[in-house]
Amino acid sequence: MTTAERTAPRPTPAGPVQPRLLFINGFHRSGTTVMTSAVTEAVRGVTTTVSVLARHIPTLDAFLETLSDGTVDRGADRLHITPQTAEEYGFLLHHRTGEHALYGHPDGLRLLREHVAELAAEAPHATVVLKNPWEVGHEAQLLADFPDARIIILRRRLADIERSVDKALLRASSSAYFRALDGESEHYHRVRRLLGSRWKRPLLLWVLRLVARRRAWRLAESVRELPLDRVAFLSYDELRADPQAGAAWAAHLLDPQALAEAFTKHAFAEQSAPAPSSMVQRALDRRLQRAWTQARAEQVQAGIVAPATGVAGTGDRLARTLSART
């Protein structure tokens, strides 16, 4: 896609045209669960829930029978599990193919289309909202394979993501919920063995950090080629600081006021102090921020969205980018 095609002026829309299929993309522990719950509520849509997955995963179905005995969290975080809790469709793919990623197995695309049809049949006029962190970086392929889809890409400070991943893995390794969700697979037991080893655990966590950093570097490059009217570039940190200003960048896909209210409702009230960041993490954050700022500036130029200035610094960066391009 050429720059001219991405930035060609478009009439300012009277309001968002609600998409039939909306993907929520972001790295693990970047806020995709909160965002999926918030978006689903904002558009009055349907999503992959724990109860939907339980139809296909017997161990999860059996687990749900025990929930009446008390509350259980996700293991990866403190979010309490209910049949309506939003979850990754990657667990369904993993149960069927052994791979969490859509493009990790030849049957992945067919299975996801069947899953979308299953959700759409339950609510024929509603938007289907889907999340699976394994798809970050494959946005162009998703848009090609699902022509009626739109994508919200969510970024977050890399240091906070990595800290959260470390904690989540340690908690999930002893979680009854994740054991049921993964179907008592060899994958689950292998990860648990690695995390239980004194010397293998730090090695595993370091490898995961390297993989995430490589993906972050590539993501900043790949978003420059995405069709601007089909993608919203959001920031978890901006949404936490100012939900209304942060949600404004998705105004071409859904009602930003509804999203801001739903995000505030679903996000944890308390916030952890920012994790200390290394020089590498800060460099990658700046790279992603530049990619987001440039894409947003091009969306403003094309009349797709109006500039949001409520988040500290966003308006100034956007203005500088627009000035440099004009």
**Domains in the chain, CATH or no CATH each:** 19-325 (3.40.50)
Cα 79 off chain centre by: 16
3-state secondary structure of 235: strand
Would you give per-residue pLDDT tens digits along the chain (326 residues)? 555 455 554 444 445 656 699 999 999 999 999 999 999 999 999 999 999 999 999 999 998 888 766 677 676 677 788 899 999 999 999 999 999 999 999 999 999 999 999 999 999 999 999 999 999 999 999 999 999 999 999 999 999 999 999 888 877 677 788 888 887 777 777 777 877 788 888 888 899 999 999 999 999 999 999 999 999 999 999 999 999 999 999 999 999 999 999 999 999 877 788 999 999 999 999 999 999 999 999 999 999 999 876 654 455 565 555 545 54
Burial of 97 (0-12, 13-18, 19+ CB in 10 A): middle
CA distance 149 to 144: 9
pTM above 0.85, yes or no: yes
Burial of 289 (0-12, 13-18, 19+ CB in 10 A): middle
3-state secondary structure of 232: strand
